[in-house]
Structure 1
Amino acid sequence: MSSVTPPAITIFVDADACPVKDEVYRVAGRHGACVVVVANSFITVPREPWIERVIVSDKLDAADDWIAERAGPQTVVVTADVPLASRCVKAGASVLAPTGKPFTESSIGMALATRDLMQSLREAGAVTGGPKPFSPKDRSAFLGALDRALMRLRRNAQGA
């Protein structure tokens, strides 16, 4: 067993429309992870030394760019934004949707294709509804997925 402290795990939250911020704080606190909440406007966060709020400009994709530039192997990114998820997966980050669905190297291509298809159908007027409402089942799945992602990163850091 090494006496070297493994690098801190950081969770980046694409916060403007994220329904699971409170769950992120709770799980991160249990695991000793840092949380960075990134938004285009002021957002209230708990006053904890391990939680940081970053407010970026209101320029299109400013929050996505900020997160993608910092994502890497010791990070978890929480986002429903598929293009951002793709950028972060390519950077080596663990990426979770608020529903708990992981974005991985093997799933991101299909997620991008589905997103593009749905956008085309919406633009053509074929699809008028949005995503299904966020449910307690989604919240529970997210909690489990975030817990597993943090445990995996901790094991990997200790084994390195």
Structure 2
Amino acid sequence: MQIWVDADACPKVVRDILFRAATRTQTPLTMVANHPLPLPGSPLIKQVQVSKGFDVADDEIVSRIASGDILITADIPLAADALEKGAHVITPRGEKFDKGTIRAKLTMRDFMDTLRSSGVHTGGPPALSAADRQAFANQLDQLLR
């Protein structure tokens, strides 16, 4: 098992939780981003830096992720691809995606994208709360057990 992180949009507080969990459980952790990230000095924690571009990090993750791995992402199409490969997927807010829920999430994402492209202001997600951080930590711990 390995933890993969779609790190370009991953909040720092979530990265810190991941660093501690990887060290505590001795689970390899790979951050995939298009820019350098500050990482703790641990042989378990590494970064794959990809070039800038649409879905470059996502494509890199999909090419490397394996069944049983854990992916941290809020990117719904990436989550769907990882689930197809047998990975576990959770968002930085602690929401767990699975094959039973991902199609509805993809449909809603596509609907919201259509609204935005037609000029409707849909707003963004709320700030990450303490409850979100706790939900994330709990889901991660559950998957690492």
TM-score by shorter chain over 0.5: yes
How many pairs are equivalent?
143
Q: CA RMSD in A?
A: 1.0
Gaps of 5+ in 2: none
Q: How does 1:11-22 map to 2 (within 5 A)?
A: 11-19=3-11, 20-22=14-16
Q: What residue in structure 1 maps to residue 135 of structure 2?
A: 141
The correspondence for 1:92, drawn from 86, 95, 110, is 86
Tell me the SS of whatever aligns to 1:86. helix
Tell me what 1:6 maps to: none
Deviation at 1:125, TM superposition (A): 2.3
Structure possessing the higher radius of gyration over alpha carbons: 1
Contact (CA 8 Å) 2:10, 2:92: kept in 1 or not?
A: yes
How far apart are the structure 1 equivalents of 2:122 and 2:63?
34
Contact 1:118/1:127 (<8 A) preserved: no
Question: Unpaired runs of 5+ in structure 1?
Answer: 1-8, 152-160
Q: CA offset at residue 35 of structure 1? A: 0.3
Match of 1:51 among 39, 45, 56: 45
Identify the residue that residue 5 of structure 1 maps to in structure 2. none
Of residues 138-147 and 71-80 in structure 1, the stretch that sits farther from structure 2 once superposed is: 71-80
Per the normalisation by structure 2, the TM-score is 0.95
- Give the CA deviation at 1:128: 3.6
Q: CA deviation at 1:117?
A: 0.8
Runs of 4+ more than 4 Å apart:
none
User: Alignment partner for residue 130 of structure 1, among 111, 124, 130?
Assistant: 124
